[in-house]
Amino acid sequence: MKILFVCLGNICRSPLAEAVFAEHVRQSGLEAKISVDSAGTAGYHAGERADPRTRACAARHALEITHRARAVAPADFETFDLLVAMDESNAADLRRRAPHAQARRKVRLMRDWDPSGPGEVPDPYYGGDADFDHVWHLCDRSSPRLLAEIQNQEGL
Which residues does the annotation mark as catalytic? Answer: 7, 13, 123
User: Can you name the residues that pair with 7 across neighbouring β-strands?
Assistant: 40
Q: Where does 41-99 show beta strands of DSSP type E?
A: 82-85
| Residue 106, amino acid | K
Of the candidates 77, 58, 74, which has an alpha carbon nearest to the alpha carbon of residue 66? 58
Distances (CA, A) of 23 to 41, 55, 76, 96, 138: 24, 15, 22, 31, 14
Helix, strand, or coil (residue 70): coil
User: Considering Cα of 12, then 26, then 110, then 136, what sign does the dihedral take?
Assistant: negative
